[in-house]
Amino acid sequence: MQRLGIDLGERSYDILIGLGLRKRAGEFLKPVFEPSRVVVITHPSINDLYGEEVAESFIAQGWTTDIIEVPEGEFSKNLSQAEKLYDHLLELNCDRKSVLVALGGGVIGDLVGFVAATYQRGIPFIQVPTTLLSQVDSSVGGKTAVNHPKGKNMIGAFYQPRLVVADLETLRTLPQKEYRAGLAEVVKYGVIADARLFEFLETHYKEILNLDHKPLSHIVETSCAIKAGVVEKDERENHYRMILNFGHTFGHAIESLTEYARFVHGEAVAMGMARAAQLSHSVGKCSEEVPKRLEALLKNLGLPVDMPSLDSSAVMESLYHDKKTMDHKIRFILVTEIGSIEIVDQMPEEEILKVL
Ligand code: NAD
Ligand code: GLY
């Protein structure tokens, strides 16, 4: 098992990565916090697969443990679902020493984190991420949110978990499409911060697609270490943390203009990263080699790179609604070389239109 720390003063916590860890979640929580009770929140299908094992690990510590199910899908990340969870927690008499356990992917993690941040002004929660995306990205860093009809992640809070327990074994039941989507975020870390990780992906993509343990644990650990380092420097995204949004500016536009139905998040990010690299080259920030290598790697990982046909003015409109856009200025994360990026505070519309 690998133990990484994220140093955020009194909000610091460990990220544990390894095989079979879900069955030991209670043992890992014990030295961190002694809860009055534990509530595991998950989707029905994940409950069938792992709910009992995870709950048993808390029961073994002598803690009263309940499981609450939430329907799957992005649609569950909303205020009415959060309200149902508050009702349930009140019925269970959960108090400020109760611990919530987010067992699932980014949808569960974001929703449970948000409920933990707001129930009785904040109660502890831990993340037990079961998708690759949530293991390398969403479970670390404390961004919690629900969606609003007018935009994704519009209602939320920065609220850190007390612990992250990433069990690589759970990825074996994850659909291929979801697994590949998580790989898009791993590629992102290579582009923004680590040329060696990028090269590792170029060399080992077949083993990684095959879920071979050694390369898989290497990419999860490296990704978490990069994310932890970024969050330690800028927890509340005043500026630097925006680098984690490489590819997401176009990606979010693609997701919202296709009603969050045609692509999963990582696929939209893959297309977004390919466009962002093209844009970086077309404004002279990087050589032609950079978008070429990025597209080749994404294709090898089975990810899409070409934008779907979308109305350019609708894409521009969507970019103006991006959370990074301030004072009507579209911010972009551009790549200068693999492993190195630059935040550009105002990208002219005509440059963006050239790569759409
Ligand atoms: P998800 O949570 O919807 O999970 C994808 C699907 O996989 C679901 O149907 C789920 O039930 C299923 N699943 C999960 N684990 C499984 C397993 N081990 N075996 C079989 N099936 C399994 O999707 P996701 O990609 O994990 O997360 C996407 C969400 O994460 C989005 O809402 C996005 O906004 C959010 N996100 C948040 C952050 C952050 O920093 N907080 C970062 C990136 C993305
Ligand atoms: N996924 C982007 C962030 O955590 O900042």
At 96-118, the pLDDT tens digits run 999 999 999 999 999 999 999 99
Domains of the chain in sequence order: 2-172 (3.40.50.1970), 176-355 (1.20.1090.10)
Catalytic residue among 22, 77, 188, 227: 227
Cα angle: 323, vertex 288, 209; to 5 degrees: 70
The mean per-residue pLDDT over the stretch 162-171 comes to 98
Active-site residue, from 248, 275, 285, 331 = 248
- Look at ligand 2, atom 3, and give the residue with the nearest C-alpha: 244
pTM for the model? 0.97
Q: Give nearest CA residue, ligand 1 atom 43.
A: 138
Which span out of 160-164, 259-263, 322-326 was modeled with the highest average pLDDT?
A: 160-164
Ligand nearest to the CA of 256: 1
Ligand 2 binding pocket includes 141 (Cβ within 6 Å): yes
Task: Please report which confidence band the pLDDT of residue 342 belongs to, taking 50, 70 and 90 as the band edges.
Answer: very high
Q: Which atom of ligand 1 is nearest to the CA of 110?
A: 41
Nearest atom in ligand 1 to the alpha carbon of residue 143 is 41
Q: Is 317 a catalytic residue?
A: no
Nearest to 139 by CA among 170, 157, 169, 163: 163
Tell me the CA end-to-end span of the chain in Å, nearest whole number.
Answer: 44
Compute CA 151 distance to the chain's CA centroid, rounded to the nearest angstrom.
Answer: 17
Is the CB of 78 within 6 Å of ligand 1?
no
> Facing residues of 69 across strands?
42
Ligand 2 contact, 143 CB (< 6 A): yes
Task: Please check whether residue 167 is in contact with residue 2, taking contact to mean a CB–CB distance below 8 angstroms.
Answer: no
Mean pLDDT over 58-79 rounds to: 97
Share of the chain above pLDDT 90, in %: 91
> From CA 95, how far away is CA 99, in angstroms rounded?
9
Each as own residue / partner, the long-range contacts of residues 347-354 (CB below 8 Å, 24 or more positions apart, any chain) are 347/279, 347/283, 349/316, 351/279, 351/282, 351/283, 352/279, 352/316, 352/319, 353/312, 353/316, 354/279, 354/282
Centroid of ligand 1 to alpha carbon of 288 (angstroms): 33
Tell me whether residue 237 is one of the annotated catalytic residues: yes
pLDDT tens-digit series, residues 31-53:
999 999 999 999 999 999 999 99
Question: Mean pLDDT for the chain?
Answer: 96
pLDDT at position 17 is 98
Task: Tell which one of 81, 125, 133, 303 to mutate to probe ligand 1, the residue whose CB is within 8 A of the most ligand atoms.
Answer: 133
Mean pLDDT of 301-318: 93
- Residue 143 CA: nearest ligand 2 atom is 4
Q: Is 121 a catalytic residue?
A: yes
Could you tell which of 173, 178, 183 is best to mutate to test the pocket of ligand 1, judged by most ligand atoms within 8 Å of the CB? 178
Confidence category of residue 260, pLDDT binned at 50, 70, 90: confident
Q: What is the pLDDT of residue 259?
A: 86
30 pLDDT above the threshold of 90: yes
Determine the Cα–Cα distance for residues 99 and 122; give it in Å rounded to an integer: 10
pLDDT bracket for residue 149 (50, 70, 90): confident
Position 323 pLDDT exceeds 80: no
- Sequence-distant (6+) residues with CB within 8 A of 105 are 129, 130, 131, 133, 134, 138, 178
Position 273 confidence tier, pLDDT thresholds 50, 70, 90: very high
Query: Residue 157 pLDDT > 90, yes or no?
Result: yes
State pLDDT tens for residues 217-257. Answer: 999 999 999 999 999 999 999 999 999 999 999 999 999 89
pLDDT class of 11 with cuts at 50, 70, 90 = very high
The tokens 């079979």 sit on which residue? 20
Q: How far apart are CA 143 and CA 153, in angstroms?
A: 9
State the catalytic residue, choosing from 22, 152, 235, 245: 245
Contact 140, 133 (CB under 8 A): no
Give me the pLDDT at residue 137, please: 98
Report whether pLDDT(6) > 90.
Answer: yes
Q: What are phi and psi of 13, to 5 degrees?
A: -160, 170
Confidence of residue 327 (pLDDT cuts 50, 70, 90): confident
pLDDT above 80 (res 307): yes
User: Residue 244: CB within 6 Å of ligand 2?
Assistant: yes
Ligand 2 centre from 321 Cα, in Å?
A: 17
